[in-house]
Structure 1
Amino acid sequence: MSLRRVFAVACAVFVVGEVVLRLSWIAGGRWGYTACDRTDLGDHPVGGCGADQVAAVPFAAGWGALGLFVVLAVLIAYPDRWKGAVTWIAAVILLVLAFPLHLFFEIPAGVAGHPTDWRDIGGRVALLAGGIAFAGLANAVGPRGPAPTEFRPVPGWARHWAHVAVAVPIVGWAVPHGLWVLGVPFGISEQKLGSADGDLSNATGVAIAVVPPLAGLLVLGLVQRWGQHFPRWVPGWGGRRVPRLLAVLPAGTVAITLVTYSVLSFGVFAGKVLDGEQSWAQVREGWATVATLLVFLGWGVAVGVTTAGYVMATRRSVNGQQARTG
């Protein structure tokens, strides 16, 4: 069986499973459905936070999602010269909806006994698997890109910002969180540190400290060869050009999310200080909390600028290919 057929079958199985599941929810079933709010799981998240008492499934989880998966089914069956690009877009959408980095925190916490919404985790693991399957299909049907020797270097300033994007989460996130895991009240009160230790297991604390900086290393792909061409040793993918959307959409989404979260959080923080809900003495005692917002802002800006450099370099590459074939 060819690689293309394998991924097509995997995509079809994923889509059929999701369609059946969404239809069951629309019909009144609640198997695998969750009504939990991720910001407040309540006392019994394993049961879906009262999912069985939900009278009508929200549009996004019911008919809206059903329509999306029907479109994906058509995409699998309909061959077209744009299929590779559109399939990449579908893969990126599924991967973003899966929120995979959050799974690195939730799964260790659940295994350690922390209250966990396993229905939500199961649904997002399925979306992650579907995104990987569609990425594989997009790679299988897409044309091979230029040879690796046609690597287009990014501007020097983009390389510098890429290094900043790698250093910021290590220095501003991994170091303080690592100290907190070790019991050192760095920039926060001992009371707050003790409360956090009671809520999180050691495995979860280590995951929170280590996973973001490791994920941040992916930004190096925006300035190195493997960000434009898959390495030869990658099975089924080696030698193909990395689609620009596969790199630009996730990186751009991360940059916008980090900057937006930081700005909005600063607004909330400033409001609390101005209203007197938080005193300057409390701010000084827990300065690391405010500093984390600066970390998110700097991280997001660095990723965004690096992404801009990648877009400029790959745009020159695409324009050059069009000129040669024109």
Structure 2
Amino acid sequence: MITEPRQGHRPAEPLARRIALPAAAVGAAAVAITGLLGMLLPHLAPFTGEMPGVLGFVGERATLVEACIGIAALVLVALHRSLPSGIGRPLAGVLGAAAAITMPGSSIAGAGYLLALLVLVAVPILLVVLSFRRPAAGVPLLALLVAGLAAGELTGAFAVSRFLGVFVDGMGDAWLALLATAAHTLAGLALLALAVPGPSSRAADAVRRARVPVTIAAAACAAPYIVARASWLTPWPLFGPSREMLDSTPATLVTGLLLGTAMLVGALLTLGLILPWGERFPAWVPGVGGRPVPVPLAVVPALLVAVLFTVGGIGLMGLGGAAQEVGAPAFQQLTMAAMLPFWLWGPLLAIATWGYAMHRREPA
């Protein structure tokens, strides 16, 4: 027996939107609390570092602006279901962008060192697993890694230990900024999810058509930094200390190479949005080899990184402006923008991720 749909029955909201509303509430509350705590305990505010981000440019009112954004977002979440889409979506987009763009700019530095640490731990493990599962590919790569470590003898081990020490000391002051970043990112992404047009919109169609070239362009943003860090292995190091200083301070060399490797990993993960292994785990991966990659597993981290890169890029450009004020040549700003083009990588990665999500949900 076929039953007619009840008149006035509204179709169920997509899962992303059902999740976005409570996530926006949690994120907005966290942003508001962070701002209020910063007003009460200004010495703990994570906007006082060398790279303050957008809020750092409003001075002492930074935490007030942050609290107002969080409270306004909470009000919007409370009224969202009763607002017409023509009003609710634009407001969600504006507040989402405001929440994302006002995160502490120093977070991108902490994230870079955190990814470098993960690379330091994960790459040897992956090479060992690959050597057992695919010896023809894994054994030569593992041998190359061992040979590189052996060539450095105790110097290499000392440099790695120094990097770990620098990481622990540096992150001691960065955890507050990272926690504030998590709050701003959650609120920003959730609110932007409420503002994104449906999959049948013209914008969505344009993203579907352009997702491959956009993804390639996003991954290419890592090339300048990777080339510069690779040059530290040559007599002509770029974008860093002199050859003599690198030879005398191996920890600096290892740190730079690890950050360059982290950037390379970021580029490869970006390309995963259009490559087969981004849709299905490689067969050699234990436990999940050959299975489809869960869409949220790829989309959520990619969007987090997109927001972080965009805000980090704005923070870097702000540093460039500050440098120019004290008499630094203007070309240094251009060099910074070209060597670390997070300002471009972030928006391109967001578009590429949106295209990936729509591609994965298309009927076979």
Structural mapping, 1:125-204, within 5 Å: 125-139=179-193, 143-146=197-200, 150-151=205-206, 153=209, 166-167=219-220, 169-170=222-223, 172-180=224-232, 182=233, 186-187=237-238, 189-194=242-247, 197-198=250-251, 200=252, 202=254, 204=255
| One-letter identity of the residue aligned with 1:58 | E
Structure 1 CA distance, aligned partners of 2:73 and 2:313?
24
Correspondent of 2:295 among 223, 230, 234: 234
Correspondent of 1:103 among 83, 106, 110: 110
Structure 1 residues 83 and 98, CA gap change in structure 2 (3 angstroms): farther
* Offset at residue 113 of structure 1 (A): 2.1
Structure 2 CA distance, aligned partners of 1:123 and 1:16?
17
SS at structure 2 position matched to 1:175: helix
Correspondent of 1:84 among 85, 89, 97: 89
Q: Does 1:116 align with 2:135?
A: no
Structure 1 residues 13 and 118, CA gap change in structure 2 (3 angstroms): farther
| One-letter identity of the residue aligned with 1:186 | P
Equivalent pairs: percent with the same residue?
A: 15
Structure 2 CA distance, aligned partners of 1:270 and 1:143?
43
Greater helix share, 1 or 2? 2
Q: In the alignment, is the contact (CA less than 8 A) between 2:27 and 2:186 conserved in 1?
A: no
* Offset at residue 68 of structure 1 (A): 1.6
Structure 1 CA distance, aligned partners of 2:48 and 2:318?
26
Q: What are structure 1's unaligned runs of at least 5 residues?
A: 41-56, 225-231, 239-246, 272-289, 311-326
Structure 1 CA distance, aligned partners of 2:209 and 2:198?
20
Structure 1 residues 102 and 91, CA gap change in structure 2 (3 angstroms): farther
SS at structure 2 position matched to 1:60: helix
Structure 1 residues 190 and 298, CA gap change in structure 2 (3 angstroms): closer
How many residues align? The count is 251
Correspondent of 1:15 among 4, 28, 37: 28
Correspondent of 1:33 among 23, 26, 45: 45
SS at structure 2 position matched to 1:146: coil
Q: In the alignment, is the contact (CA less than 8 A) between 1:19 and 1:66 conserved in 2?
A: yes
Structure 2 CA distance, aligned partners of 1:236 and 1:184?
41
Q: Does 1:60 align with 2:67?
A: no
Structure 1 residues 116 and 32, CA gap change in structure 2 (3 angstroms): same
- Tell me the alpha carbon deviations over residues 13-55 of structure 1, each in whole angstroms, 9 at most, x when there is no partner: 333334334334433x358435753269xxxxxxxxxxxxxxx
- The match for 1:210 is 261
Structure 1 CA distance, aligned partners of 2:221 and 2:37?
45
Structure 1 CA distance, aligned partners of 2:320 and 2:195?
37
* Offset at residue 69 of structure 1 (A): 1.3
Structure 1 CA distance, aligned partners of 2:298 and 2:195?
11
Structure 1 CA distance, aligned partners of 2:33 and 2:315?
34
Q: In the alignment, is the contact (CA less than 8 A) between 2:90 and 2:195 conserved in 1?
A: no
Structure 1 residues 296 and 31, CA gap change in structure 2 (3 angstroms): closer
Greater Cα shift, 252-261 or 76-85: 252-261
- Tell me the alpha carbon deviations over residues 150-195 of structure 1, each in whole angstroms, 9 at most, x when there is no partner: 44746xxx95x9867754642x321331342x58653563333246
Structure 1 residues 261 and 22, CA gap change in structure 2 (3 angstroms): closer
TM-score by length of 2: 0.47
Q: In the alignment, is the contact (CA less than 8 A) between 1:4 and 1:140 conserved in 2?
A: yes
Q: In the alignment, is the contact (CA less than 8 A) between 2:28 and 2:187 conserved in 1?
A: no
| One-letter identity of the residue aligned with 2:29 | V
Structure 1 CA distance, aligned partners of 2:226 and 2:104?
24
SS at structure 1 position matched to 2:198: coil
TM-score by length of 1: 0.51
Structure 2 CA distance, aligned partners of 1:69 and 1:35?
16
Structure 1 residues 174 and 153, CA gap change in structure 2 (3 angstroms): same
Structure 2 CA distance, aligned partners of 1:295 and 1:38?
16
Structure 1 residues 133 and 14, CA gap change in structure 2 (3 angstroms): closer
Structure 1 residues 59 and 212, CA gap change in structure 2 (3 angstroms): same
Q: What are structure 2's unaligned runs of at least 5 residues?
A: 1-12, 53-58, 118-161, 276-292, 300-305, 352-364
| One-letter identity of the residue aligned with 1:210 | T
